Structure 1
Amino acid sequence: MFFGGDPFEHFAHAGGMPGGGRRGPPRDVDTTKLYETLGVEKTADAKEIKKEYRKLAVKHHPDKGGDEQKFKEISAAYEVLSDEEKRAKYDKYGLEGLENEGGGGRSPDDIFSMFFGGGGGRRSGPRKGESINHPIKVSLEDLYNGKTVKLAINRQVIIGDATMCEACDGQGAVMELRQIALGMVQQVQRKCPSCTDGYKCKTKKERKVLEVHVEKGMKNGQKIQFRGMADEKPNMEPGDINFIVQEKEHDLFKRKGADLLITKTLSLNEALCGFEWSLKHLDNREIVIKSRPGEVIKPETVGGQPFVKIVSGEGMPSKGNPFVKGNLYVLFRVEFPTDGELDEATVATLKKTLPDPSMPVDYDEDEAEVCHLDAADVKNFGKGGAETHNDAYDSDDEDGQQNVECRQS
């Protein structure tokens, strides 16, 4: 929480010592200038502010002979007061409270200098406290459909007003002299034990229930931010509370970006003659996936990659635009019959039905040697043949030299 502070203090005390000397008590910030520029009360609603801005913008527009500087001031004032969050910060901290605002539009430095001139040498606005991150585990179903959950947090809030610490003159740190040797003294700075960042205040614990909205299409690692909901500290803007999405693994679907992937194993019959099966999607819809007439599913592609097809538009919704969805990828595996599973009649039928059957080879049974195949593992390729156990001798012989010791008696 911020307790005063004069936005003109730097200009009034130019050349002062930022780190040394005693600081005077903070003064109130100016939170009326922008309202005066638009000619509205601080209690004006968004509709009134917009109405006055349009009236003044037409009157002072440079193209209609108006004053350019005045027009810029009007536009800058409206830019802040038309934004609910920026207006709240301005009402609390003045223009300095907008210092940490990012994004598009005019920078806070530009707005400050527009109204008060210069701006480059002004002191910074209130510091922002540390943000707190909490993980929140979310199922893939909830990321697909969206979900709002209520979570309770405990935060520290300030009771009453804070007072500047006299022990450190509001610096938050004190200097100490330590003797490190005879005649040698070291000056050391340490945190003030009497206060928190230069101010003293009473605090209490507050229990707050937050409604955490998980948007459709959110991804693992994205954060849901609650600005200014962290612990309150004197002369500081409260930090944020961020809930970090942690996506749970799903039994059926794998996700990458806005696309989903499932793996489907087909029998040889299904791969050649057609298939259909149903699955329950993440929003509980039943989807029937069916092959087209004459469609053949292969064990793998020509390049050796897994054989994949897609169902367009059945992936995850896109965050911010849930009507645009990714695709559902289906990775196929083909299960072939095992040895001995096909009888002679079935084999004969398949040979007649399927294209390119194996043709008999003409050979002399007395001359040709017939071989059959055994099970194998490609990892053993290169390990066949007899193993050599005299490696030590082989390594000596590789250069064609031997170590021979000659003795002469």
Structure 2
Amino acid sequence: MFPSRSIACPPWLVSLLLPLIVLLSATLSQCGRDFYKILGVKKESSASEIKKAYRKLSMKYHPDKNPEKEASKKFAEIAEAYEILSDDEKRSIYDNHGEEGLKQQHQESHMDPFDIFSAFGFGGGRRRKGRGEKEKTPNLDMKLRVTLEQLYFGELFHVTYRRQVLCVNVDECTVDRRDCQGAGLRVVTQQMGPGFIVQNQMQDDSCVGPGKAWKKKCKACPKGQTEEEPVLLTAYVEAGMTSGDTITFEGVADHKVGYEPGDLNFVVTETQHDRFVRRGNDLLTTVEIPLLDALVGFETQFRHLDGKDFPLKKDDVTDHGETMTVKGKGMPVRGGKEGSFGDLLITFHIKFPDKLTKKQKELVREAFK
């Protein structure tokens, strides 16, 4: 249940407060705020100058960057000023009729100050919708588990995804309702006096989306607003991708009345390999060699991640834990030059014999005299 934000007032209190509200609103209309002064620009400033001033001030007072108590209040004031002055229509109304003129337009949408900050490329904001643009249903993230070999070569994945889509006759079951703000939510607006409006959110199960309500017992959609639909998607994992990379399919998430479908993101998730560990574009592995090879050197064939063997040779003494770097034998570099690869780092572990015979001990001592 959504709690109502309405406040019940006794009649005597309303009669007492209403004249004060009217007087206050009249006073404020004459003493409106100077949005140009708030942004520190002149009335004749261009749109680019206003935008530049806003960006500078928003960086200074954004609550994520400024811990002072008054920063949030100042930031909201700056954002409100920019909302007005960055919109040609609102700016014209403000220039001619002041802040009271804007109030009389009964704007139905109110900007979140953090939305503009996000639009400039900073974190911590929410996505701002353009005019006439519908909200989207939530984006969905799905793990796509891939092996290290698949990340090395690249591979196509065919995935069947089941989503909720709107009933084909959904238009026959919905009606326009301006007071519907979203699913299960409507807004009740009350005017308490000139320029003073109170909006309350109330639960309303008939509201199924922004501006949309559902007809009761609608036979055109017997299963309800949505039904399940399988979607076959082909995801291409590029060679060199890493865990955490995403493959996005726009507009294929669940459908909902009054909303655009969100996006489906396949999140690349590397599974553990039994021989190799990836570090950036490099491959790391461990090779065990006998004590004799560690002392006198060795030459052997090494099986790479690509399934091919290449010669591995070392003539001098090998220490336990020593690492050999083989250039160009790592992972492919995604987005790099064609044929560019990271390196292969091989760490050697020496296997010592469990015990030596008396004769062997004598030979070892003799060899190291």
> TM-score by structure 1 length?
0.50
Is 1:138 aligned to residue 153 of structure 2?
no
The answer for the alignment partner of 1:267 in structure 2 is 290
Say whether 1:171 aligns with 2:181: yes
CA distance in 2, matches of 1:247, 1:192: 45
Equivalent residue, structure 1, for 2:247 = 224
Partner of 1:317: 332
In structure 2, how many angstroms separate the alpha carbons of the residues matched to 1:290 and 1:190?
76
Deviation at 1:280, TM superposition (A): 2.6
CA apart distance, 1:336: 2.5
Listed as ranges, the gaps of 5+ residues in structure 1 are: 1-6, 21-99, 104-119, 178-186, 300-305, 358-409
Does 1:285 find its partner at 2:293? no
1:143, 1:152 → 2: CA distance? 21
Q: In structure 2, which of residues 244, 252, 259 is the aligned counterpart of residue 236 of structure 1?
A: 259
Secondary structure (helix, strand or coil) at the match of 1:351 reads: helix
Given that 1:157 and 1:204 are in contact with CA atoms closer than 8 Å, whether structure 2 keeps it comes out as yes
Identity %: 31
Letter in 2 for 1:288: P
Higher helix share: 2
1:167/1:194 contact within 8 Å kept: no
Structure 1 position 211 matched with structure 2 position 234: yes
Match of 1:195 among 207, 212, 222: 207
Q: Is the 8 A contact 1:164 1:170 kept in 2?
A: no
* SS of residue in 1 equivalent to 2:363: helix
Distance 1:157 1:229 in 2: 9
Aligned AA (1:17): H
The DSSP-based 3-state class of the residue aligned with 1:324 is: coil
CA distance in 1, matches of 2:202, 2:347: 62
Q: Please tell me the residue identity of whatever aligns with 2:151.
A: L
Partners of 1:165 and 1:194 within 8 A in 2: no
Q: RMSD of the TM alignment (CA)?
A: 3.7
Which of 353, 358, 364 matches 1:337? Answer: 353
Partner residue in 2 for 1:347:
361
Q: Does the CA-based 8 Å contact 1:278-1:289 persist in structure 2? A: yes
Q: What is the aligned partner in structure 1 of residue 299 from structure 2?
A: 276
Cα distance change of structure 1 residues 102 and 222 upon mapping to structure 2, 3 Å threshold: farther
SS in 2 for 1:269: helix
Aligned residue type for 1:307: E
Q: Is the 8 A contact 2:154 2:239 kept in 1?
A: yes
Quick one: distance in 2 between partners of 1:157 and 1:308? 55
Specify the alignment match of 1:296 in structure 2. Answer: 317
Does 1 or 2 have the higher relative contact order (CA < 8 Å, sep 6+)?
Answer: 2
Verify the 8 A CA contact 2:163 2:228 in the aligned structure 1. yes
Find the residue that maps to 1:128 and give its secondary structure.
coil
Distance 1:189 1:165, change over 3 A: farther
**Contact 1:168/1:192 (8 A) holds in 2:** no
Length, aligned pairs only: 235
CA distance in 2 between counterparts of 1:155 and 1:271 reads 59
User: Equivalent residue for 1:30?
Assistant: none
Q: Deviations over 1:16-70 (max 9, x none)?
A: 33449xxxxxxxxxxxxxxxxxxxxxxxxxxxxxxxxxxxxxxxxxxxxxxxxxx
Specify the SS of the correspondent of 2:339: strand
Q: Could you tell me the TM-score, scaled by structure 2's length?
A: 0.55
Q: Provide the rounded CA distance (Å) in 1 between the counterparts of 2:317 and 2:298.
A: 10
Q: Give the Cα–Cα distance (whole angstroms) in 2 for the partners of residues 102 and 246 of structure 1.
A: 31
Larger-gyration structure (1/2): 1
